[in-house]
Chains A and B, each alone.
Chain A
Amino acid sequence: MNYFLQDVYSVFWREIKHFVDQKMRIMVSIIQPFIWLSLMGNLMSGLTNNPFAMMALGGVKYLDFMTPGVIVMTALFGGIFGGVSIVMDRRFGYLNKMLVSPISRSAIPLGKMLSSALIAGFQGLMIIVVARLMGVNFATGILGIMLILFLVMSFSLAMAGISLALAARLKNMETLFAVVNFLTMPLMFTSNAMFPTQTMPNWLATIAKWNPLSYVVTPLRTLVISGWNWTEIVQGFVYIIILVFLTLYLATTQFKKSIA
């Protein structure tokens, strides 16, 4: 058990090293939410500056409404590409280097998933800082922000798990990218991340209601806009915890199968 934690940390350490190393990637992760919020936010605030829209948005500015959406979206994209690193490791022989060592097999996907979570936490914090500077009000304060970060990190961890499970079986970068893109885009735009379900046509609103992404956006939005509405927050937590355990299981079993 002691060795297991050490192994997880070793894999995690390497991934974080890679992230810190890519100055460009860090810059982008700070600038991107800023662009999203300022462009999309400004564009939409003109459109939503009427009583009906205000009602659909829960009585707040569009910027406040979209901030949780942007946080979840960033975590989704960050996490879902987590599998890329395992394909790279396989291609460059580094995976075999790890596998000939006595390192725990499950530690490899787990370490990578945890690194995705930490990076998502960092990016989430950046978005919150940018949003706060742009005048977004966080209804639940510091405690709420900490909960938001926890939820978002768990979500990214789960997405990385799905990605790693796919990458373990696909083994090929091009196919992985195709599948991941196929999954993320529709997932994004059929959820309530960017637009309120009240303004959607019925069929889309139904999809949005069942879209797994909405389950994460909803508690986050509650924490940002409405405050301590416990039913929604607890529901979100339960959902995320289940998702995390499911994807952990999926990623480790698929990874072990792929190296057997």
Chain B
Amino acid sequence: MKVIEVNKLSKVYPGGIEAIRGISFDVEEGEIFGFLGPNGAGKTTTMMMLTTLIKPTSGSAKVCGYDVLKNPNPVRLSIGYVSQDLAVDDSLTGWENLYLQGRFYHIPKDTMEKRIRELLELVHLADRADERVENYSGGMRKRLDIAMGLIHRPKVLFLDEPTLGLDVQTRQDIWSYIARIREENNMTIFLTTHYMEEADNICDRIAIIDHGEIKAIDTPKNLKENLGGDLITLSIKQNNVEVINLFFESIRNIEYVRDIKKSDGRYTIVASKGEKLIPLVFNIAHEKDIEITSIILKQPTLDDVYIAYTGRELRDEEGSREDNRRMDRILRRSR
């Protein structure tokens, strides 16, 4: 079942800035779908349209079968949204934050208390529930924020940069909570992130977006394989050119192999399934009486994919002023 259906969606901001230029994609039920792209690529704009926060200029988007423009309230009831702003109320306690959130979703009084207790357990905040959020650490706030997004048991959870500004340990914790939540509720998760390894590990499918257009959309594995595949670099001990040529001729005939290059006396094989190719290479080397002195298998990372599609690296970007200011605020608040 398709939980999110986006069809030629576009957004032009007043002033003529085309943030999104007619994107289309679907997200299946239970999927973790990642949006990857540089700052200003349109990730947050897309998410805000899907969560009914801003109106699309043209095209359509449906969440759980409801049109975000024509039928926003049922959409709102079926989604949870955790923005990158760490939007928890500092002067309320953790419990009060969840209670207020529950009231916004009109959760009946008798289920409210049970729901809040469950969520506090889930994000390990039960012992700090009656403390004001002011005293929480950045990771605790984020956990509370995520719990708030879950209070009404949404079918789809939208997470905008859920690990931004958090340390490595906390980031891992957050991902394990998210994985658990998804498993327990068969929830669909739509997320954006800056961290490539995280996207690679957690997402079932990834869309790479740049300048308001989707450049590629596939599983992380396919995206990496489509780049040309794994790189196997090897050095050999053999001076007879005839023998060497014969050796590589045989390797070239293996179906996984796409290309062989020579540089600095070393050979690089581009192949789709590097881990399966290596034993075959050894077998052939043995047959042809060639000694392999070293062999390295390198799999392309999502970073390579990202660079290939957007032409730049995610890390060395100049964010807009608003992005920087927002980042400052988040860092300040997440101490």
A→B interface (CB under 8 Å): 3, 6-7, 10, 13-14, 17-18, 21-22, 91-94, 96-103, 260
Contact = CB atoms under 8 A, between A and B. Distances in A.
Contact of B83 (A3, A13, A21, A93): A93
Interface in B63-109: 73, 76-77, 79, 81, 83-87, 89, 91-92, 96, 100-101, 103-106
B91 A97 contact: no
B77 A97 contact: no
19 contacts: A7-B103, A17-B92, A18-B91, A91-B329, A92-B87, A93-B84, A93-B87, A94-B87, A96-B53, A96-B81, A96-B83, A96-B85, A97-B87, A98-B104, A99-B52, A100-B51, A100-B76, A101-B105, A102-B104
A14 B96 CA distance: 9
B194 interface: no
A100 B52 contact: yes
A91 B101 CA distance: 18
B182 interface: no
Contacts of A10: 100, 103-104
Given A3-B106, A103-B104, A260-B55, A17 B96 contact: yes
A7 B104 contact: yes
Contacts of B91: 17-18, 21-22
Given A93-B83, A96-B83, A102 B76 contact: yes
Contacts of B53: 96, 99-100
Nearest to B105: A101
B125 interface: no
Contacts of A93: 83-87
Contacts of B103: 6-7, 10, 13
A97 B105 CA distance: 11
B105 A102 contact: yes
A26 to B, nearest CB: 14
Interface of B: 48, 51-53, 55, 73, 76-77, 79, 81, 83-87, 89, 91-92, 96, 100-101, 103-106, 148, 329
A116 B92 CA distance: 19
Contacts of A91: 329
Contacts of A100: 51-53, 76, 79, 81
A25 B169 CA distance: 39
Contacts of B92: 14, 17
Contacts of A21: 91
A56 B55 CA distance: 59
B73 A102 contact: yes
B55 A97 contact: no
A93 B90 CA distance: 12
Nearest to B52: A100
A253 to B, nearest CB: 17
Contacts of A103: 104
A46 to B, nearest CB: 44
Contacts of A3: 106
B85 A92 contact: yes
Nearest to A99: B53
Contacts of A260: 55
Nearest to B92: A17
Nearest to B158: A100
A21 to B, nearest CB: 5
Nearest to A259: B53
A129 B241 CA distance: 105
A23 B308 CA distance: 57
B106 A6 contact: yes
A102 B86 CA distance: 20
B30 to A, nearest CB: 22
Contacts of B76: 100-102
Q: Which of B83, B85, B101, B104 gathers most chain A CB within 10 Å?
A: B104
Q: Which of B51, B76, B87, B92 gathers most chain A CB within 10 Å?
A: B87
B11 to A, nearest CB: 14
A232 B87 CA distance: 48
A101 B76 CA distance: 6
Those 4 A-B pairs whose CB atoms lie nearest each other, nearest first: A93-B85, A93-B87, A101-B104, A10-B103
A107 to B, nearest CB: 10
A260 B52 CA distance: 10
Nearest to A97: B87
A102 B77 contact: yes
B89 A94 contact: yes
